[in-house]
Amino acid sequence: FVGLSITHTAPGKSPKFLLVERYGGLRVAALSSHLQERHGMYHNGTILVSAVLDFSTLYAHPGNDLHFLGFFPSLAATAHYHRALGKDAGDLATLRKEVAIFVREELAPALFQGSDLPEAKKRELAKKMATFTGLEPEFIFGSNLRISTSSFFKELLRDRGQIVGRFDSRVLGDDPTDSGQRPSYDPSYTNIYGSYASAMTGYVREDLKFESDLVYEILSSKVRPWDYSTYEGRYVNVAPMLAEAMKENPHLRVLALCGYYDLATPYHAMEHTLRHLPIDPNLRGNLSVEYYQSGHMMYNNLPDLIKLRKDLIRFINKVAN
């Protein structure tokens, strides 16, 4: 993750902020607690960029339907963006409200019933889900009302021979095969991979004057080993750590930044996590969320980068002053 410190006075008295992205959310909760307990360093703000605190919201497992509930609003937003919902779909803001109500009041109770859900009700919900996602009702029914992102990537625009991106579902890629398996690549990643590699290599060699033949790992699993022994046999969930840090430091503010078209760490999953933080009601005002018409890396798009900068400046000034 990236640490962000704003200095107005002597270093020890400076306002302190931590900014993290994606799985950095797992580290920042533990770091906040460690800095407070071990070093007496209370920071002012934590900024979560497309982050995750609770893995149970991201990964499907028999008996755990949070994955499907958390991703569904982003599937609907994606279908709306690609005009797969018909001419009468309305605007995105209205759709988001309707989908949020549907997930909370209809889909969640239905999935909770499991095999007890009557077939007629299941077919009724499949038809309604189709109006939100642009998928065929029979496909949704056959998926047991549980739409996986891997199938959605291919199914949404299958008739066009295209797939949607994972990091940014607005980005399309060609995929003329009729295979039902997950796509062989993520067009929203391959679309920026070269630019990231080129920019970083140029910066390191030309600006920093660091000469090396090492490969710059843009996205890699070579950062092992991580120690997950504490969470053996269960999902990693550091939300209680963040809650503990907020209890110990009631002045700590948390800002979550989420993209509507992020199918890696969806915004509704973060909303769910924040709603379930075990903190007192008087600390809920310390939580805030900003949304972007973008995917996982909202800073890749100039209008969203401008909004991101404004949101960060406003948050930092509000917290630090």
DSSP letters, 126-162, are HHHHHHHH---HHHHHHTTT---HHHHHHHTTGGGTE
Q: How far is CA 252 from the centre of its chain?
A: 22
Q: In terms of Cα–Cα distance, which of 257, 99, 84, 78 is closest to 169?
A: 78
Q: What is the pTM of this model?
A: 0.89
What is the C-alpha to C-alpha distance for residues 40 and 297, in angstroms, rounded to an integer?
Answer: 33
Closest by CA to 259, choosing from 185, 193, 170, is 170
| pLDDT by position in tens, the chain (length 321) | 344 444 444 445 788 899 999 888 888 888 888 888 888 888 899 999 999 999 999 988 888 899 999 999 999 999 999 999 987 788 999 999 999 999 999 999 999 999 999 999 999 999 999 999 999 999 999 999 999 999 999 999 998 889 999 999 999 999 866 555 678 889 999 988 888 888 988 899 999 999 888 888 888 777 766 777 888 778 889 999 999 999 999 999 999 999 999 999 999 999 999 999 999 999 999 999 999 999 999 999 899 999 999 999 999 999 987
d(CA 295, CA 279): 29
- CB burial of 193-218 (b: ≥16 within 10 Å; e: otherwise) equals eeeeeeeeeeeeeeeeeeeeeeeeee
Q: What is the pLDDT of residue 12?
A: 56
